[in-house]
A = this chain, B = another copy of it.
Amino acid sequence: MELHTCLWNDVQAFHFNDVDFDILRRAMPGLTVVVHANESSFLEQAEKVEAVLAWDFKAAWYPQFTNLKWIMTPAAGKDWVEPHPLGKVKIVHGTFHGKLLSESLLSALLFMNHQMPRMLDNFRERAWDRDIQGQSRLLSDQTVMIIGFGHIGQDCAKALARMGTCVIGVSRSATPVSFGAEVYGLELLADHLPKADHVVLLLPGGEETERFMDETRLAMCKKGAYIYNFGRGNALYSRDLVASWEHLGGAFLDVTDEEPLPATSELWALKNMMITPHSSCIYKSYKEAFLKETLNYLR
């Protein structure tokens, strides 16, 4: 079997080199891995491609790919691989992101909860102020709401529930889970939002989630609540966050409504703000985790 790959990326942890695919070649001696280094090399061979690993795929390409059966992608969201208009090509998404993202989210929650930006200032000023964390409550005594409760949201919820933290999941389907977390439908969001000390957005991109967490919903949050966006930037507009800032305790954004966030954005200067460059899944093990899932799928 021949497997084509288009997995170049500007981010080192996401860029697959030819040698990365040895994990597949070693496990499946009959497999030929064709590594494309750019788009044109890939499109030239369109007709012979049956299976591809790709970061992105444009709907406009499908007519050339007459033999394409499936696309497997390491991307966490459904933003980059556009579906076949008639659904004739199967798109397979990895399920390994939850393990990565849940550790980054836990890190972010503890970082904000324990006043680490101020503690770092204290450190950099060579100061010894022992009152900065005096009002911190244990995360394990607090309530975290996760909006967007698919497999990634559930993995995050499990990690928090194991610590003893009260977790509320919110999703369209409101499917109950087997571990200790309440799950509600979107129609009950307004009832439960005021309970959360930390509100985590893990929503996919797209029209349906556009400006989901607007000024009205931010105002429903508990006074002093922390907001986290680890899903897609379109769900939380910068201007809504700026307008609501006095009501909130702070925010940790891994995604923003414009990426990279321009240096002129007001967000950078807000007190108790932390922003990371859409990096919540950037771990050394990313590529290996994807290739192991690919191997399972191939088998």
What is A's interface to B at a CB cutoff of 8 Å? 10-13, 99-100, 103-104, 106-107, 110-111, 113-114, 116-117, 119-120, 122-123, 126-141, 159, 162-163, 259-261, 263, 265, 268, 274-279, 282-285
Q: Bound state CA distance, A130 and B103, in angstroms?
A: 17
Question: Does the CB pair B107–A111 fall under 8 Å?
Answer: yes
Question: Does the CB pair B120–A279 fall under 8 Å?
Answer: no
Which residues of the partner chain B approach A114 to less than 8 Å between Cβ atoms? Answer: 103-104, 107
Question: Does the CB pair B111–A277 fall under 8 Å?
Answer: no
Which residues of the partner chain B approach A100 to less than 8 Å between Cβ atoms? Answer: 138
A128 to chain B, nearest CB (A): 4
Q: Bound state CA distance, A130 and B14, in angstroms?
A: 10
Which residues of the partner chain B approach A263 to less than 8 Å between Cβ atoms? Answer: 126
Question: Does the CB pair A106–B110 fall under 8 Å?
Answer: yes
Which residues of the partner chain B approach A135 to less than 8 Å between Cβ atoms? Answer: 13, 284
Knowing A114-B104, A162-B162, the reply to whether A274 touches B120 (Cβ < 8 A) is yes
A232 to chain B, nearest CB (A): 16
Knowing A12-B134, A134-B284, A285-B138, the reply to whether A277 touches B122 (Cβ < 8 A) is yes
Q: Bound state CA distance, A104 and B137, in angstroms?
A: 11
Q: Bound state CA distance, A133 and B283, in angstroms?
A: 6
**Given A117-B120, A130-B277, 20 further pairs, Cβ under 8 A:** A10-B130, A11-B131, A11-B134, A99-B138, A99-B140, A103-B110, A103-B140, A103-B163, A107-B107, A107-B111, A119-B279, A127-B277, A128-B261, A130-B279, A133-B282, A133-B283, A134-B282, A137-B284, A162-B162, A162-B163
Knowing A130-B278, A163-B159, A261-B128, the reply to whether A138 touches B107 (Cβ < 8 A) is no
Contact of A129 among B141, B259, B277 (CB under 8 A): B277
Which 9 interchain pairs have the tightest Cβ spacing?
A128-B260, A107-B110, A13-B134, A128-B277, A126-B263, A12-B134, A133-B282, A11-B130, A162-B162
Question: Does the CB pair B12–A282 fall under 8 Å?
Answer: no
A131 to chain B, nearest CB (A): 5
A119 to chain B, nearest CB (A): 6
Which residues of the partner chain B approach A117 to less than 8 Å between Cβ atoms? Answer: 120
Question: Does the CB pair B126–A268 fall under 8 Å?
Answer: yes
